[in-house]
Amino acid sequence: MIKPFYLRNPKASMRGKIAIGVMIFIIGIAMPFMLFIGIIYCIYLYFDFKKLKSEFGILKESAIKEFNNKNFKLCLECSRKGLELNNKDLVFEVLEALSLFNLKNYKDFIEIIERLNKNNKVRTDIDIQLKLGESYEILKEDLKAKETYKYLQGIFPKSIYLKEKIELLSK
């Protein structure tokens, strides 16, 4: 099963990048130009590895781990610390929002997701959008909930669940 972008382990991503680097060097044996690309790629990996081992990378790994363990308060704390270091990090913003949702702070969840909905990764994530619709319903914003479910129905036209939600909100 493919994990959503905000739950992918940064260390697993690094393993894949290292494997790509090894392949570039193997190809470089036959094509010397690829050795040059391999050197540039190694420099990129060095800085990426430094970022992974930095406070920022450790916080991101901790936030993902705490979210997976359903420790939403700790995830929220890690996410907010990470956002202090880089306030434009999408993973931390999404984890902050989802932690707020799971802690039943729907108003703040909606505020964050409405801002993040400009990003295609967030806009097309069904789990986030369903939670947005659910939050609107809980806060009695039925028109916005219906709008969110209609958007999702455009992506998943055969969904009986979405059809029922829209019909229920139309009454």
Question: Which pLDDT score is estimated for 99?
Answer: 98
Per the model's pLDDT, the better-predicted residue between 147 and 36 turns out to be 147
Cα–Cα distance measured from residue 97 to residue 70, given in angstroms and rounded to the nearest whole number? 14
Question: Which pLDDT score is estimated for 137?
Answer: 96
Confidence label for 120 from pLDDT (cuts 50, 70 and 90)? very high
Q: What is the mean pLDDT of residues 29-41?
A: 86
Confidence label for 52 from pLDDT (cuts 50, 70 and 90)? confident
Whether residue 54 is predicted with pLDDT greater than 90 in this model: the reply is no
Supply the pTM of this predicted model: 0.82
Whether residue 90 is predicted with pLDDT greater than 90 in this model: the reply is yes
CA distances, 102 to each of 41, 81, 91, 99, 111 (Å): 40, 19, 16, 5, 15
